[in-house]
Every structure is written in structure tokens, then in C-alpha cells.
A and B are shown apart, each in its own frame.
Chain A
Amino acid sequence: MSVTRPGPGASRPYRFPRAIEGETANGLRIIVLPMPARPLASAQLILPSGASAETREGSGITAALARLLTEGGERHDADGLVEASELLGAKIGADAGWESLVIGATLPAGRLRGILDLIAEITVAPRLPEREIERVKALRLAAIDQAQASPRARASEALIAAIYDDAAAYSRPAGGTRESVAAIDRTALLARHQQLLAAGRPTIVIAGEIAPAAAIRTVQESPLAALTRGSGAASQPADAASTVSSERNGAPHLLLLDRPGSVQSELRIGRLGRSRLDPLFYAALVHAEILGGLFGSRLNRVLREEKGYTYGAAAGFEFRRGRGPFTARTAVESSVTAAALVEARTQLGSLATAPATEEELAAARQYLRGTFPLRFGTPSAVASAVTALVANELAADELDRFQTSVDAVPANAVAQVAEGLEAERERIVIVGDAATIEAPLRDAGFAVEVRSEPVKEDS
């Protein structure tokens, strides 16, 4: 063994797969990302409207529609569809996000046309059988109960509800609430389906070992050519922050959701974050790594490696087209809850008083640029990343600039992100055993509001 640490050898260049574009006569946008030596292809069709376009009463309908698309189309019923897609070596799936509904699959590249036919079939004329609608609704209601029973999910949902105004779409789970899900019916689903087909320009992203010209031609010759460009009604603003004061009589307000007998407390601290389209996006990435992303981040280093309060502590932005949340998350042993919360808040505020050091900045930049190629080894990862760009209305070659953009983040931009966060209201939520942790939290100076466990409704 030698004492001297080895330095780097010669560095290798990396390029994100190049995006080649085409379109169909009706205006479907086609983006192909060739990846040599990867014998798979991943195809993802994006309809550009999601949960952020929903009203409170109608929330969750896009997610329900996504689940129901795979219940069959004109030629196949649900079982027939699964069978046909699995015979191609693919699991076809549909998912709703905040800004889009995406239908896709990954399979051996030579069978691309087969999966395009199936994607087109369920997109253009889904069956939406009554019996399956009722089943999907019932399963969503059961999933809401499961989330309430999970300390992690319950804490996260309560924090999000505290950050945003009740009227903002981002205040709700994208899957909808008990009331809104109960109200979903076939008429509403058909209307939402029509809205999605007319919502704007649909796009198909295809990544993998495939020649761009051939892939574009395959799409043009497939039934996807029937999809047309919609008029593109702009979606509603989804990100209005709550105006409720974050203090009570000068003390920081803390919502304590009681979970009697909990051996740990789930801590959440959050604020209104930044949009994916924010000019400080790359600075925000670097900021979040330093604060709560890296293993050696300020939050994890102190809470885990110095104090042993937790298995891990993390913080970061969730980037959406509107301003998504910034959240810090950890679970700590009940008896150290107050001490851990005080320490977490100190670390979260530390970038305002102790700016990022050159060492921290270099580590965060290099981590982001170095791990970038690792994230994109598979066609499905590349297709998903470009799908997210499309949903946020960013250029298809945006990721080509990722590494240079991260490298170029200056210290003052990181400081600006820190200041911006400090200017937003802080929200604190804890799920834990109130009998153990309420008094120490009050003693530590928090205005604690205790809410007892939700009572499960009989079904």
C-alpha cells in the first residue's frame, strides 16, 4: 500500500445522446436519441397536460385516466393488451405528472413498430370500462389510507399542504383527494381524455439503438400519425404559496401530527422552491448538493456523522414548470427530536451566514458533472430525461449543456439561491409520538399545534 493518493488519469469525453427531430403530417413531434451498443429502444408518448391543469374538485382525474388507458383500446381488452405487449418483451405503462401524461415502454429495438401500434391504440380510443373505473377509484382511496399510515408519506403530504395555498394545484397530491377521487366518473374521464388530445403538441421520444431516419419513418407510418396538434390552452398557475403566517406570537409554528407509540419522528422543513425554468436552476442544483444532497452535505454530516441522530438527512428542490417545493427530510429517534430540529434548522440556514466554501462548491460541481453519464446508461433513462424536458417546454438538447452549465455556476449565484429561500416562509411538520416530543419542542421555543391521528373512514 502506498501513502500517496493516486491522482486522475486522462479524462474521457462524454456527450449526452444527440437529439434528432422530425414530425408527422398532423404535427406530432418526434425526437430520436440514438444510443449505439444498447440493443433496446424506449418509446414515450407525451400528452402535454397534467395534474397542474386540474381544479380542486377535479384533482386526480389525469392520474386515474393514466391508470385506465392500459385497460384496453379498440382492438385489445386489458388482458389482450398486456399479452400483446409482453410478447414484444415490453411492459406498457402510462403515468400522469404535473405537466403531462406519458405512455411508454422499453423493448428490443427491432420491435419498435409493434409497441407504437399499442401506444396509439390506447391513446386514441381507450375503452375506459365502468367496472375498471370503479376499481381504480377504490384502489386510489385505499392508497390514500396507506399513505396516511406511513409516517413518511403523511409528513410529506402535510408539508406540501402547508407550503402552498389551498387553491394551488401543487398543494394536493397529484393522485387526488378522497372527495375528488370519489367524484370521478366515465363522463368526466372522457372529457379529460378529449382535453388531453387537444391540449397542445403531442411528442414522442425514442431512445436506443436505432437509426434516427428509420425511427422517424416508423412513427410516420404508424397509427400515431392520427394524433393532431392541439390548440394548446395554457395551464393554470399551480404554485401559489400559502399566505398563512409561519409564526404564532413570534414563535416558529410547528405542525405535530400525533402518531402514538412512534419510535422515531419524521421531520420535514420546507419552503416554496424554484421552477425548472428558473435562470438560477443550475445554481440551485449546486446549492442543494452542498446543503443536503451530498453524503458530506452540511445537513447529513452534522445530523448523521457527528450526532448520530439519524440514518440520513437530505434536502433539495423538486423542479417543476411552476415553483415546486424545497424540502428537508429526516427521521430521528423520538428522544432527540427537538435537538435534531434545532440543528437541522441551523444547518439549513447556514448558507446565508457562512457562504459555500471553494471546496464545497468544487465538490458539488464535480459530483453533478461526474455522475451525469452514470444516470444515462439505459435508453429508458435517456428517454425519461428528455420527456421531462418536453413536459417543461425546454429544448430537446438542453442536457447537452448540463455539464458546462454546472461547471459555470459561480459562488454568488449559490448565495443568491440561499437568500431567495430565506425570503420564503418556513414550514415545519413532524409526525411522531406527541406524548414524548411535544413538551421538549415547546421548551425549544416552537409554537406547537398538535393534530391527532386521522380516523379511517369505513368503506
Chain B
Amino acid sequence: MSAPQAIPLNERRLANGLRLITVVDRTAPTATVNLWYHVGSKNERAGRTGFAHLFEHLMFQGSAHVSKAEHLSLIESVGGSANATTWLDRTNYFATVPAEWVELILWMEADRLGTLLDALDQANLDNQRDVVKNEKRSSYDNQPYGTAYLELLALSYPKGHPYHHPTIGSMEDLDAASLQDVREFFATWYAPNNAVLTVVGDIDEAEIVAAVERHFGAIPPNPALPAHPDLTIGAPLAGEIRKTVKDKVPDPRIHLAFRAPVLAHPDLPALEIACQILAGGRGSRLTRRLVRQEQVAQDAGLSVLPFVGGASLVVGSATLRPGADAATLERIFLEELRGLGERGPTTTEMERARALIESEEMALRSDPETIADQIGMYATLLNDPERINRDLEIYQAVDAAAVQRVAHEYLGDERVILWYEPVEAA
């Protein structure tokens, strides 16, 4: 296959430090505005877990010239959609609208970055605190196996490490959040020099630059932007860490976690391909062995959760088939991981993985929202927005020896094994 055409990135920095990246893509009559702030749950202080995410909700509660809950309604009423997410390392806000409305979105983003505190009040904080607590109940506490990722983080990172606690936080800490916390967090982290603004779509680049200057130009930077916390992890996991959780689940499920290299590390792409070969679809090693041949599992998964400092995670899971033996499932799962490290992938497995990566890369490039988000990620976390244009080459260059080496190095005996088991019937 010929190399795909490069995505044409146009980059500049405003005087206040805001990094602006534009990409003209006329395949659809839309424009995507995507803002990454380099702040996430790793920046929360003790006693305020969950705050970065609660704060993200408050960004939709109005600013000087936008009333409560108007932000999303206004975007919908011009024919667009929008959302935001918070994660350990970052927070992102994104909207896609018919291209003619792009300046409205830029104006709204600037209004909340410049004047959020003008509209902040206790009633809005209390309302969104209730909403977020219900989000925690819906997504974690009231779902079978729903707390697994909270457990995995806590078991994989030492107490006090910024990744030890989950982004959703604890109910007690959410209850403790005050207006003063909101003001301090906003003043500290929500500054143009801590943001990357990416605009992709059917746009005129000169018009976008002018509009961004007009709306964001006067927002002052934070000259005292604090350093991010130290993410260094001293010791490797002390061998195998095991835990069993009794929950309202129908069948036992195993979850695994391994510490993996950070986002910037050159081993990460090979590790992602190892996960693809082990658990990517029906023909992968774990699915073949656990689900089809030995028939001890209903499903099997393994994937990389990339983080910027200390260690990323490889997380896996498999649900026991009714009547099958849990110890057998665990033994085979680990056997397959070890097998890839000992003998490496076959030539065909590498060819299949490369062909699928190429298709996935093509699909990604058909979606302006994904393009914008990846650029924001690479600019914010790696200081390398052009990385998006080297991704395919980087993944295609991974060879069988590299896959074998990283599987051996990272998917070994230092690991977390977490079992969910059904509570006994009363």
C-alpha cells in the first residue's frame, strides 16, 4: 500500500501561550473544536479526589455571557454536539458543529476560560456534585464488576502515587469540594498557557487564527503554572499481588494488570501489537485458547492504558464460563502471555496485525473528531503534534522480535490478579 497522505498541521502560539493547531479537511461540511488542558486527576490533592472531573462538569454551568446549562443547548440548537472527558493526565473538551458556526464555539470556549468564576455559585456546585455522585453510582458502584478499574489502579500504584486513586474520586471527597476549591483549581490550571486548541474541518485557517486572537488573545496566562507531580515509581510490583472481591456478579471474572512503559517510550507500540495478537478478536491467542478450544471463558481481553509518567498499565480480563474451573482459566491466560514472550509471534500473526493497523489508521483519518483529539493528545502529552503523521510508520516498523521482547519484559510475574466472585446466595 502507498503511504497515506500526511495530515497538514498548521501550528502557532498566541502571546499568552495558547497553542493553536489547525487542519483543513473538507470531506464533511463540519468543524471540530478540541481543547486539551494539561490537568487531570493526578493533579488533585489529598482529600479532594474526583475534583478535576467535578470541575469539568462546572465548565458547562455557565460563564459571564453564557447562562447555566446553556453551553450544550446552544451547541445543539445550531446543529452540533459536544462533550468532555477527564482522565488521569488530562481533561479534554470537544464540539463539532456545521462549519459556519465554528466561531461561536471558539467564543464560548474563550468565555468560559476567561470568565467561568463570574457565573459560579453554590447551587450549581451542589447540583453538579449530585450529578457526578450519580455518575459514580451508574458507572461503577451499581454495575456488576463495575469497581474493577478502581481496584486495579489502587493495587498497581503505591499509596500516595498520583495514579493510585481513580478519576471519579470518592463520595467523601466529592462532598468536601467547596467553591474555594473551584476558584483555586481554575486559577491554577485553566490558563491559555496550559491548553492546546485544535480546529479541524471545512475551515479557513486565516479566519480561525483571527477569531482565536480576537476571543482568546486577552485572556492572561498563569505565569506561575505549577510543575506536575512527580510520577516516578520507586520499586517494581513486589511479585504477584492478589485480591478477591465478592460482588453481585453471575460468574467469576479475572482482571489482570501489569506495569508498562510510559506513553513516550519506544516499547509501547510493540506492546500494543502484542495485546492485539493476544486478544484482538476471534482469531487472537487468548480467545482461541480460552473461549474456543478449552472453553473455560466467555470472553477475553487485553489492552494498554497509556499514561505519561511512572508507568502505563496493561489490563486484561476474562469471564469464567459457568461450570468451568477458575484456576484453569488463570493458568491458561498466563501461559499464553508467557508463550508469546518465549516464542514470539508467527509471521502470519505479524502480517495480520499490520493489515488491521493499516485499516484502523484509515478509519481514524476518516473522522475529524478523532484527528483533532489525537493531535491534542500528542501536543499536550508528548509535545509532538506531528506524531499523528508518523504513527502508521512507527507501528508498521515493529517486528516479531520486538513483540516477543516486550511481551517477555512486561507481561511477566510482577502483576496484579484480581478476581470477582459471586456473593453467596442469602
Contact = CB atoms under 8 A, between A and B. Distances in A.
Contacts of A139: 291, 298, 321
A369 B367 CA distance: 19
Contacts of B244: none
Interface string B123-165: 0001111111111011101111000000000000000000000
Nearest to B202: A12
B60 to A, nearest CB: 9
B77 A363 contact: yes
A377 B369 CA distance: 10
A234 interface: no
Contact of A331 (B73, B137, B219, B359): B137
B366 A38 contact: yes
B397 interface: no
Interface in B353-381: 355-356, 358-359, 362-363, 366-369
Nearest to B82: A295
A296 B76 contact: yes
B343 interface: no
A264 B298 contact: no
Contacts of B218: 1
Interface string B61-73: 0000100110011
A5 B104 contact: yes
Interface in A353-391: 362-363, 366-371, 373-374, 377-380
B130 A309 contact: yes
B100 A10 contact: yes
Interface stretch (B23-31, B183-191, B301-309): B23-31
Given A89-B355, A370-B80, A378-B363, A79 B126 contact: no
Nearest to A289: B76
B359 A83 contact: no
A142 interface: yes
A209 to B, nearest CB: 10
Given A2-B107, A311-B134, A142 B322 contact: yes
Given A12-B99, A363-B77, A377 B368 contact: yes
B292 to A, nearest CB: 7
Name the residue in B100, B129, B298, B359 with the highest tally of chain A Cβ atoms < 10 Å from its Cβ: B359
Interface residues of B, number: 88
Contacts of A38: 27, 362, 366
Nearest to B146: A150
A70 interface: yes
A405 B240 CA distance: 61
Interface stretch (A23-31, A198-206, A300-308): A300-308
Given A89-B359, A142-B251, A262-B142, A311 B131 contact: yes
A444 to B, nearest CB: 20
Contacts of B292: 78, 132, 135
A125 interface: no
A151 interface: yes
A370 B72 contact: no
A12 B29 contact: yes
B134 A149 contact: no
A295 B73 contact: yes
B288 interface: yes
Interface string A1-13: 1110111111111
A456 interface: yes
A3 B65 CA distance: 7
A146 interface: yes
Interface residues of A, number: 82
B141 A263 contact: yes
Name the residue in A88, A90, A149, A310 with the highest tally of chain B Cβ atoms < 10 Å from its Cβ: A149
B4 A294 contact: no
B77 A362 contact: yes
B325 interface: no
B80 A371 contact: yes
B107 A6 contact: yes
A138 interface: yes
Nearest to B351: A87
11 contacts: A1-B110, A79-B283, A83-B352, A151-B143, A264-B138, A296-B69, A308-B130, A308-B134, A371-B81, A373-B30, A374-B30
Interface of B: 1, 4, 27-30, 65, 68-69, 72-73, 76-81, 96-104, 106-107, 110-111, 114-115, 126-135, 137-139, 141-144, 202, 207, 211, 214-216, 218-219, 248-251, 281-283, 288, 291-292, 295, 298, 319, 321-323, 348, 351-352, 355-356, 358-359, 362-363, 366-369, 425-426
Interface of A: 1-3, 5-14, 37-40, 70, 78-79, 82-83, 86-91, 106-108, 110, 132, 135, 138-139, 141-143, 145-146, 148-151, 259-264, 294-296, 301, 304-306, 308-311, 331-333, 362-363, 366-371, 373-374, 377-380, 455-456, 459
Given A138-B321, A379-B366, 17 more contacts: A1-B215, A1-B218, A6-B103, A8-B100, A9-B207, A10-B100, A12-B29, A78-B282, A87-B352, A89-B358, A106-B363, A110-B1, A142-B298, A295-B69, A308-B129, A331-B142, A333-B137
* A-B CB proximity, top 3 nearest: A370-B79, A308-B130, A82-B283
